[in-house]
Homo-oligomer: A and B are copies of this chain.
Amino acid sequence: MKIYDLSPEISEEMIVYKDKAEKKPKIKAARTLKEGSNESRIELDSHTGSHVDAPYHMLENGKTIEKIPLEKFMGKCIVLDFTKIKNSITKNNIKNSEIKIKKNGIVLLKTKNKSERSFNQNFTYLDKSGAEYLVSKKIKAVGIDSLGIERNQPEHETHKILLRNNIPIFEGLDLSKVNQGRYFFHGLPLKIRKGDASPVRAVLIME
């Protein structure tokens, strides 16, 4: 069994969306060994690093993260390689992939994004047609290796199409060490009451 770690480190220096300072984590010691044990207090955005968006992120009556069945966050998964695409991933790009999408599977979109060392406004994203196509294939979750699955689309169409169909969106995954192929995915969210999203430790497992 081989485990691929898809999560970047959480630290005060990590890359955050649009490089906004207020989105960076803050980590401080709450106790030290002198007092008997090391303990820390962590402050972070629900959308930090590798994380998963719940429907409530974009939809007023959308499900919050703790209400989503855990089956959605684990299971058979395909990684599709779109590293040659510069702008956006479309329906046709996905349709023309060598690996076919199965109903109830998890689909991860590998792009050129992860070669960046700071936030890149021009990250490759999933366009509306691609989101609609994934919905039509009845996938259960989707993921991408940028900190957003779309850029500044004014109506957040990609998010809304997916979230309206209760498809959780994993963002901020590190897919740089993973090739296109079939795997088993695990990326369980913290059970945050009324959460719009949660940081996750995400892995791919190859038996």
- Residues of A whose CB lies within 8 Å of any CB of B are 3, 5, 7-11, 22-23, 27, 30, 33, 36-47, 49, 56-58, 60, 66, 70-71, 74, 156, 159, 186, 188-193, 195-197, 199-201, 203
Contacts and interface: CB of A to CB of B under 8 A. Distances in A.
Contacts of A39: 45-47, 57, 196-197
A9 to B, nearest CB: 5
A7 B42 contact: no
16 contacts: A5-B191, A8-B191, A10-B193, A11-B193, A27-B192, A36-B156, A37-B196, A39-B45, A39-B46, A39-B197, A40-B45, A40-B195, A40-B196, A40-B197, A42-B45, A186-B188
Contacts of A192: 9-11, 27, 40, 42
A45 B30 contact: yes
In the complex, the count of this chain's copies comes to 2
Contacts of A42: 43-46, 192
Given A5-B191, A10-B193, 7 more contacts: A10-B190, A36-B156, A38-B56, A39-B196, A39-B197, A70-B203, A189-B201
B190 A7 contact: yes
Interface centre among A23, A41, A196, A201 (most CB of B within 10 A): A201
Q: Would you list the 4 A-B pairs with minimal beta carbon distance, nearest first?
A: A11-B193, A188-B201, A38-B196, A43-B43
> In terms of DSSP, what is the predominant structure of the interface of chain A?
mixed
Contacts of A199: 190
A203 B74 CA distance: 11
A203 B108 CA distance: 23
B9 A37 contact: no
Contacts of A60: 33
A186 to B, nearest CB: 6
Residue among A42, A58, A196 with most chain B CB within 10 A: A42
Nearest to A7: B191
